[in-house]
Amino acid sequence: MHDGSSLLDQVNQSFAKAAAFTDHEPDLLAQIECCNAVYRMSFPLQRDDGTIEVIQAWRAEHSHHKLPTKGGIRYSPDVSEDDVMALAALMTYKCAIVDVPFGGAKGGIKIDRSRYSDHELERITRRYTSELVRKGFIGPGVDVPAPDYGSSSREMSWIADTYIAMAGGDVDALACVTGKPVAQGGIRGRTEATGRGVFYGLRAVCSYADDMKALGLQEGLRGKTAVIQGLGNVGYYAALFLEEGGVVIIAIAEYDGAIVNPAGLNVADVAEHRVKTGSILGFPGAEDLQPSIRALELDCDILIPAALENQITSENVTRIRAKIVAEAANAPTTPEASRALGEAGTLIIPDAYLNAGGVTVSYFEWLKNLSHVRFGRLEKRFEEVSNRKILDLMEGTTGVSIPDKDREQVRGPGEEDLVNSGLEETMIVAYREIHEIHRRLDGKADLRVAALVSAIDKIAVTYENMGIFP
pLDDT in tens, 299-323: 999 999 998 888 999 899 999 999 9
pLDDT value of residue 469: 67
Give the separation between CA 371 and CA 365, rounded to whole angstroms: 10
Q: How many domains does the chain have?
A: 3
Whether residues 155 and 200 share a domain: the answer is no
**Which of 183, 209, 227 finishes a domain?**
183
pLDDT value of residue 107: 97
Q: Is the pLDDT of residue 2 over 60?
A: no
> What is the SS3 assignment for 258?
strand
Sheet holding 257-260, edge to edge: 287-289, 257-260, 248-254, 225-229, 302-305, 324-326, 347-349
Structural domain boundaries enclosing 87: 38-183
Whether residues 349 and 222 share a domain: the answer is yes
CB count, 10 Å around CB of 372?
Answer: 11
pLDDT value of residue 346: 95
Residue 58 lies in a domain: yes
- Alpha helices, H only, 48-182: 81-97, 118-134, 153-167
pLDDT value of residue 92: 97
Tell me the pLDDT tens digit for each residue of 78-91.
999 999 999 999 99
Give the separation between CA 317 and CA 338, rounded to whole angstroms: 8
Whether residues 301 and 407 share a domain: the answer is no
The strand ranges marked E within 345-407 are: 347-349
Half-sphere exposure of 15 (CA within 13 A, CB side): 26
User: Predicted confidence band at 1 (pLDDT cuts at 50, 70, 90)?
Assistant: very low
Tell me the pLDDT tens digit for each residue of 437-470.
999 998 788 999 999 999 999 999 998 887 776 6
**Which of 141, 165, 183 finishes a domain?**
183
Q: Is the pLDDT of residue 297 over 50?
A: yes
Residue 326 lies in a domain: yes
pLDDT value of residue 391: 72
**pTM: predicted TM-score of the whole model, two decimal places:** 0.89
Positive or negative: CA dihedral 147, 149, 155, 160: negative
Residue 469 lies in a domain: no
253: left (phi over 0), alpha (psi -120 to 50) or beta: beta
Give the separation between CA 207 and CA 149, rounded to whole angstroms: 31
Whether residues 229 and 326 share a domain: the answer is yes
Whether residues 298 and 153 share a domain: the answer is no
Strand-strand pairing, 225-229 and 248-254: parallel
Strand-strand pairing, 248-254 and 69-75: unpaired
Whether residues 204 and 336 share a domain: the answer is yes
Q: Is the pLDDT of residue 111 over 70?
A: yes
pLDDT value of residue 285: 92
Whether residues 51 and 166 share a domain: the answer is yes
User: Predicted confidence band at 3 (pLDDT cuts at 50, 70, 90)?
Assistant: low
Residue 17 lies in a domain: no
The CA-atom distances, in angstroms, between 355 and each of 45, 93, 350 are 34, 12, 8
Whether residues 281 and 388 share a domain: the answer is no
| Mean pLDDT of the residues in the chain | 92
**Which of 183, 217, 247 finishes a domain?**
183
Whether residues 214 and 71 share a domain: the answer is no
Give the separation between CA 175 and CA 368, rounded to whole angstroms: 8
Task: Give me the mean pLDDT over the 20-45 stretch.
Answer: 96
Active site residues: 106
Residue 27 lies in a domain: no
Task: Give me the mean pLDDT over the 121-149 stretch.
Answer: 96
pLDDT value of residue 4: 62
All residues at 6 or more sequence positions from 409 whose CB lies less than 8 Å from its CB, including other chains = none
Which run of H or E residues covers position 24? Answer: none
Residue 394 lies in a domain: yes
Whether residues 211 and 73 share a domain: the answer is no
Q: Is the pLDDT of residue 279 over 70?
A: yes
Which run of H or E residues covers position 329? Answer: none
Whether residues 270 and 174 share a domain: the answer is no
Percent of the chain with pLDDT over 90: 80
283: left (phi over 0), alpha (psi -120 to 50) or beta: beta
Whether residues 79 and 219 share a domain: the answer is no
Task: Give me the mean pLDDT over the 178-204 stretch.
Answer: 95
Tell me the pLDDT tens digit for each residue of 361-385.
999 999 999 998 887 777 776 677 7
Residue 446 lies in a domain: no
The CA-atom distances, in angstroms, between 242 and each of 54, 195, 202, 401 are 43, 9, 9, 37
pLDDT value of residue 409: 72
Give the separation between CA 154 and CA 152, rounded to whole angstroms: 5
